[in-house]
Structure 1
Amino acid sequence: MSSRNSIIPGALLFLILFSPIVMGKARVLPGKETYAPARFKGIIRNFRGSADSIGIELARNVIADFSGSGNLSKFVLMNVHPAKDGTFSFELPTSTEPGRLTLSMVQFNPDKKRMEPFLSDSYGYIVETGDNLFLDLKYDPSLENVVIKFSGKGSERYNCMAQIKAEMNHQNNIIGEKWVSALVNKNYDYILGKEFLDVNTHGYLEALKVLDSYRNKISRTAYDVMNADIFGATYGWLLGNYKAQMSDKRNTIEVRKKFYDHAISVNIPSLNPTHEIKKDNNYAFSDQYKYWYFINSRIIRLLHVGENISFSFPDLFDNIYNDKTIQGFLKEKLLAECLIMPNVMLYADLNQPGYDSCYQKALLFIKTPYIKNYLLANMQTKRGAVPYNFAFTDQSGKIVHLSDFAGKVVFQDTWFTGCGGCAIFHQLFESEIYPKFKDNPDFVMVSINSDKTKEMWIKSMQTDKYTSQEYINLNTNRQGSDDDPISEYYNSNLAPFLLIIDKKGKIYSRLYPTAPEDIIRDINEALSQK
């Protein structure tokens, strides 16, 4: 099995904490809102007129922090246009769970003829029922970013988060420089030693001081979530970098093993040593803690260093499922995230029957309705499920149906212009996978583009960056990557979106752009079926 590399550069220290929570289109589950909305008023001090507006992204009931999670989560995405004097107001729905709010300044892009964010205050502020705030926004040229001052009911929580962000940015500069310098000079003993761990722990404790100064001014839930954010960003970054170095084949086996040995033995303090269930349930609202720290730490323990770096997906799932120290809501979130987080697939040997078995285990364990409903709605890609029988047009305007390929094995790749992962996968597929099957009369490669204009699709197709003109090339009738029927049917707007459909017209496997051996194995298995 080939190495699956997941690299988190040292210069991106703590970036995972401050990345926007929401990516993808808003789709809101039906249901009556019974909680008081969060109310916001404010002003943009250096307002320039119709070119400026405020981008609002609110995530609630989110399973995981990645594009594609939003199709069944309660997202709110909107642009708020201020009045002529720069004032604005808006309301956001709330529930028993905290929401995560990202704010950005939005400008009209004349080239693309649409509004686009150009400056983002991307903390992921915690929104609670009853918030009633005033926001003072001003562009600071020295920072090249928007500075926001909060006042009103709930403002202590927002100001606390803003101060934590500033403190961790400061720590980012210190720790990031030390990490990069040590790597450049191959001073591995330093970054694997106690001193560097202490530097990271100092950064965590300094941010924690800020949080503790607000402890009596914010809710217990908000405190726990922010603590988990800081902890996950600090030590998740550390483990992520260890994992990147131990899986980087540019390093010698000796260096990679040194990182592996250290990663599985490093003495990271426990966030919840007494396993208090209330804390664990609150930590479940922090993606930085759940994936970047918790799941990352389990992945590292399952990896081995050598020519092959991988593990069976059920090994990871069962490692979490059988852990008696975690229970309830946190375990539900971890199991669901393990099943749907694409980064996991960079390392896991993904065999569809094993994956489907884990899926069924999770459905029996999980009790929280929206988590279970999300998993139930994403069962369209299990083995034997009925695929979407598309009817899309090729470049000549001819309508092509999936059913036209009955009796053949179909490899279906859905992509859009500008998708870096789509371009990388195409190069992998074209060089290592397609040559093995292109002359097989029972194999068909269908490349589906979701660009909104035929011109953009044709131009991209002709570059051979995302697809080959040897394939059957189709477009989703110019409906766009968020609204195309494939995203709607499979409840996923991830790209590339890869499926193998067997000779009987049923889904054989859902694939991720990982090692080519996995994909070759599944295609061969599907071809061998009668």
Structure 2
Amino acid sequence: MKKTLLYLIATLFLSLFIILGFAQNISAKKYRIKLKIDYELNQPGDSVTLLFNPQEALTMQQIAIVDSSGICSFDLEQEFPFGKFSIEKFKKHKRNDHRMIVYKLYWEAGDDITFKIKDNLIVNDYSTNLIISGPGAEKYKLQYSLRKELETIYQEAQTKNSVSADSLKYLEQLEYQLYSVLNKSKDKINPFLYDVLKTDILMVRYDPIIDNYISFRLGYAKESPEKRNQHIDTIHKVLTNIKKFPVSDSAIAASGRFQRAFGELFYSTALLKNNPPDLKTSLREIVHYFPGVQKESGLLSLLKQYGLTKNQTELVEIKKSVKTFPYNAILNKLLVQKRRNVYGYTFMDTSRNLIDLNQYKGKYLLIDFWYTGCGACAVYYQNTLSKIEEEFKDHSKFAAVSISADRDFNKWLKSIPINRYTNTDAINLNTGLLGNKHQFAEDIGQWKYPFIILVDPDGNIVEYDTNSISTTKELLRETLKKYLQ
């Protein structure tokens, strides 16, 4: 009897060991991105950047150098089996060539693609000057065909001026024509990708509504309670319709258009109910409206809207909800990016000296990333940051750090005393010739400008582009007082 019991226990432990080992192998599985960029303007030594978005909330980048034959190759392993990627080129020659030459194309594991791109002075994403080859090339040709059809429809509508761009008649026509392009290539792509692209097409119908709510946000506070409730009802109807799309749940969750709409619309309803918006309110709504992987992907999109704080209680609920691969892997990657320590990264000061952020140890640092010509950066500085800098200028535990991504050093230097984006009293730093490709931007997943983080006296990010620090001076003031008290 004892021998039998010992045998059963040993078998159980062995089985458990095998299962755990198998699970670890699954989680450790890597997927390969293989791309070659043969761009007519490439010169040896030029840099080309691969921007990869496995989900709208997460941006990663990989920089490669053009070789002696004029080819730039990307061959890297990463933990996500699909997502969108873009290719951005930086010049080394005199011609102005800082361009996005491939923009948000849907990639899947196993693709091995070559993009041969001719010189083009007019079109930025090169859809008319592009030759695509290699295993999986059909999906890229199809995506460019859909874009071309979309552009054609827009141009025809503008020329004829027969229907407004947000009318149901126009949107139905647009949807029908895009379907015809998609279905011609249905047999050349897998069912999952077909459903993702179909979801993107179905989402086009709601673009005018989504864009309207994005642009109208500043006016929410002036609306009556009745009007706000009407807006909320409209948004909920859109979300209900999306739930009924005749495609797989996993394809809806993977659609970039769905992810954008999800975050924007739920953030809008939270704004309509409370100002400032409340993440807990949004979480409750999401659980009510969406199940499964749609909910998980949507929660990530919502984090992009709200930003992250170091001790965010809502993260416990989000972690419990986001448990399906690859969305749990995306969440973990997101949290790693947003919990970086900023010490050890160096930037250039106005005298071209390299400055490590650790020399400001012991202070809370409000770090503002911007570049000259960025209108939103100027608005944030004029309306919010400049007021707070003046108010907290004598606080011994606080400093404002202004980091510009301008690659032109002299242009940046001349902009400082103008007081449009910063001022001479701030800690003024620059990313140098790397521009927005500085290692710090890559490591923390910076994806926009202005981009605001708050760092504690030990160099840890405690507020990652949250509404509390990136919107109004009132919210920023309250947040700083909370940490500085």
Give the TM-score of the pair, scaled to structure 2: 0.71
Q: Displacement of 1:360 after TM fit?
A: 2.7
Aligned partner of 1:331 in structure 2 is 295
Aligned partner of 1:436 in structure 2 is 391
SS at match of 2:244: coil
Residue from 183, 194, 208 that aligns with 1:212: 183
Residues 114-263 of structure 1: pairs in structure 2 closer than 5 A: 116-117=98-99, 120-122=101-103, 124-129=105-110, 131=112, 137=117, 145=126, 146-150=128-132, 153-173=135-155, 196-235=167-206, 237-244=207-214, 246-247=216-217, 249=219, 253=223, 260=231, 263=234
The verdict on how the C-alpha distance between 1:402 and 1:41 changes in structure 2, with shifts beyond 3 A counting, is closer
Q: Distance in 1 between matches of 2:63 and 2:455?
A: 34
SS at match of 1:524: helix
Look up the equivalent residue of 2:217 and give its one-letter code. S
Q: Displacement of 1:312 after TM fit?
A: 1.0
Residue from 426, 445, 452 that aligns with 1:498: 452
Q: Distance in 1 between matches of 2:344 and 2:87?
A: 39
1:110 aligns with 2:101: no
Residue from 312, 315, 318 that aligns with 2:284: 318
Identity %: 20
Q: Distance in 2 between matches of 1:351 and 1:105?
A: 31
Aligned partner of 2:16 in structure 1 is none
Look up the equivalent residue of 2:251 and give its one-letter code. N
Q: Distance in 2 between matches of 1:467 and 1:474?
A: 11
Aligned partner of 1:10 in structure 2 is none
SS at match of 2:452: strand
Give ranges in structure 2 of 5+ residues lacking alignment: 1-27
Aligned partner of 1:64 in structure 2 is 56
CA deviation profile, 1:474-530 (whole Å, cap 9, x unmatched): 45687754335x546645465444344567887653444212221011122233x2x
Q: Distance in 2 between matches of 1:444 and 1:432?
A: 14
Residues 500-509 or 280-289, more deviating: 500-509
Question: Would the aligned equivalents of 2:368 and 2:402 in 1 still touch at CA under 8 Å?
Answer: yes
Q: Distance in 2 between matches of 1:258 and 1:171?
A: 34
Question: Would the aligned equivalents of 1:432 and 1:516 in 2 still touch at CA under 8 Å?
Answer: yes
Look up the equivalent residue of 1:157 and give its one-letter code. K
1:509 aligns with 2:463: yes
The verdict on how the C-alpha distance between 1:357 and 1:216 changes in structure 2, with shifts beyond 3 A counting, is same
Give ranges in structure 1 of 5+ residues lacking alignment: 1-30, 184-190
Alignment: residue pair count: 448
Q: Choose between structure 1 and 2 for higher RCO, CA contacts under 8 A separated by at least 6 residues.
A: 1
The verdict on how the C-alpha distance between 1:267 and 1:178 changes in structure 2, with shifts beyond 3 A counting, is farther
Residue from 257, 266, 288 that aligns with 1:298: 266
Look up the equivalent residue of 1:459 and give its one-letter code. K
Residue from 68, 76, 81 that aligns with 1:97: 81
Question: Would the aligned equivalents of 2:51 and 2:86 in 1 still touch at CA under 8 Å?
Answer: yes
Question: Would the aligned equivalents of 2:52 and 2:85 in 1 still touch at CA under 8 Å?
Answer: yes
Look up the equivalent residue of 2:382 and give its one-letter code. Q
Question: Would the aligned equivalents of 2:322 and 2:331 in 1 still touch at CA under 8 Å?
Answer: yes
SS at match of 2:428: strand
Residues 494-503 or 394-403, more deviating: 394-403
1:285 aligns with 2:234: no
The verdict on how the C-alpha distance between 1:246 and 1:516 changes in structure 2, with shifts beyond 3 A counting, is same
Could you say what the CA RMSD is over the residues aligned between the two structures, in angstroms? 4.9
Q: Displacement of 1:59 after TM fit?
A: 2.5
Q: Distance in 1 between matches of 2:472 and 2:30?
A: 44
Question: Would the aligned equivalents of 1:410 and 1:445 in 2 still touch at CA under 8 Å?
Answer: yes
Give the TM-score of the pair, scaled to structure 1: 0.66
The verdict on how the C-alpha distance between 1:461 and 1:441 changes in structure 2, with shifts beyond 3 A counting, is same
The verdict on how the C-alpha distance between 1:176 and 1:409 changes in structure 2, with shifts beyond 3 A counting, is farther
1:388 aligns with 2:343: yes
The verdict on how the C-alpha distance between 1:482 and 1:180 changes in structure 2, with shifts beyond 3 A counting, is farther
Residue from 473, 489, 495 that aligns with 2:428: 473
Q: Displacement of 1:390 after TM fit?
A: 6.9
Residues 500-509 or 198-207, more deviating: 500-509
Q: Distance in 1 between matches of 2:284 and 2:342?
A: 29
CA deviation profile, 1:209-246 (whole Å, cap 9, x unmatched): 221222222101210121122233442x2222320454
The verdict on how the C-alpha distance between 1:164 and 1:123 changes in structure 2, with shifts beyond 3 A counting, is farther
Residue from 438, 447, 469 that aligns with 2:402: 447
The verdict on how the C-alpha distance between 1:166 and 1:262 changes in structure 2, with shifts beyond 3 A counting, is farther
CA deviation profile, 1:417-454 (whole Å, cap 9, x unmatched): 55544333222235543343335566433334465676
Q: Distance in 2 between matches of 1:132 and 1:511?
A: 35
1:520 aligns with 2:477: yes
Q: Displacement of 1:129 after TM fit?
A: 1.6
Question: Would the aligned equivalents of 2:407 and 2:434 in 1 still touch at CA under 8 Å?
Answer: yes
CA deviation profile, 1:241-297 (whole Å, cap 9, x unmatched): 320454354998599869837833666884552887xx2223333221111x22333
Q: Displacement of 1:179 after TM fit?
A: 9.8
Question: Would the aligned equivalents of 1:416 and 1:481 in 2 still touch at CA under 8 Å?
Answer: no
Q: Displacement of 1:469 after TM fit?
A: 1.0
The verdict on how the C-alpha distance between 1:331 and 1:275 changes in structure 2, with shifts beyond 3 A counting, is farther
Q: Distance in 2 between matches of 1:459 and 1:494?
A: 23
Look up the equivalent residue of 2:378 and give its one-letter code. A
Q: Which structure features the higher share of helix residues?
A: 2
The verdict on how the C-alpha distance between 1:103 and 1:411 changes in structure 2, with shifts beyond 3 A counting, is closer
Q: Distance in 1 between matches of 2:73 and 2:342?
A: 41
Question: Would the aligned equivalents of 1:248 and 1:256 in 2 still touch at CA under 8 Å?
Answer: no
Q: Displacement of 1:79 after TM fit?
A: 6.2
Q: Distance in 2 between matches of 1:517 and 1:492?
A: 24
